[in-house]
Amino acid sequence: MSLNPKPLYAAPEDWRAYSGTLSRRVFAFILDYIIVLLLCIPAAVVLFFLSILTLGLGFFLYPALFVLVAGLYFGLTVGGPSQASPGMRAMGIAIVRVDGRPMDFLLAIAHLALFWILNSLLTPLILLAGLFTERSRLIHDLLVGTATVRTD
């Protein structure tokens, strides 16, 4: 996993860039959420001491701890220069914008939020959309203008 000096920003036209991305996304999802769950442990410890310093006000953040950690994790990794989370990099995929601009933090957060909303409403139908759309794009990819491509 090395940092690519020439990152891929635009969605390529070659169909081979999209072959197998749907199954790779599933495995990347599993890896990423294991990492997020592991990151929640030190975040909970930090939040505990922060709660003591704020006379208990920090305890109100515990219900949102997973959402905050996952948001920062995906916002910083998918919105970063590699345009992929560590799970995505391990699976050899990245998220690119269809318009050719690089991913940014806010678009990565919007992509994640739409994924959570649509996944809670349409599970498992959200994955079926990838079988019938061009470039194996899922519904939240269509809404924010992104595509998942192979990097290997």
- Domain limits, the chain: 19-141
Residue closest to 87 by CA, chosen among 103, 68, 73? 73
4-33 average pLDDT score? 80
Is residue 65 within 8 A of residue 44, CB to CB? The reply is yes
The H or E element containing residue 95 is strand 93-97
- Count of beta carbons in the 10 Å neighbourhood of residue 151: 17
pLDDT at 2: 47
pLDDT at 1: 46
Lowest mean pLDDT segment, chosen from 33-42, 69-78, 99-108 = 99-108
Q: Please tell me the distance from the alpha carbon of residue 29 to that of residue 37, in angstroms, as a whole number.
A: 12
On the question of pLDDT at 71 being above 70, the answer is yes
pLDDT at 10: 63
pLDDT tens figures, 112-149: 999 999 999 987 788 888 888 888 899 999 999 999 99
Is residue 120 within 8 A of residue 90, CB to CB? The reply is no
26-55 average pLDDT score? 97
Q: What angle do helix axes 65-78 and 105-122 make, rounded to 10 degrees? A: 130
Which residues sit opposite 150 in a β-bridge?
A: 93
The amino acid that residue 11 corresponds to is A
Lowest mean pLDDT segment, chosen from 59-68, 101-110, 122-131 = 122-131
60-76 average pLDDT score? 97
Q: Please tell me the distance from the alpha carbon of residue 116 to that of residue 93, in angstroms, as a whole number.
A: 20
87-99 average pLDDT score? 94
My answer on whether omega of the bond before 124 falls inside 30° of 0, hence cis, is yes
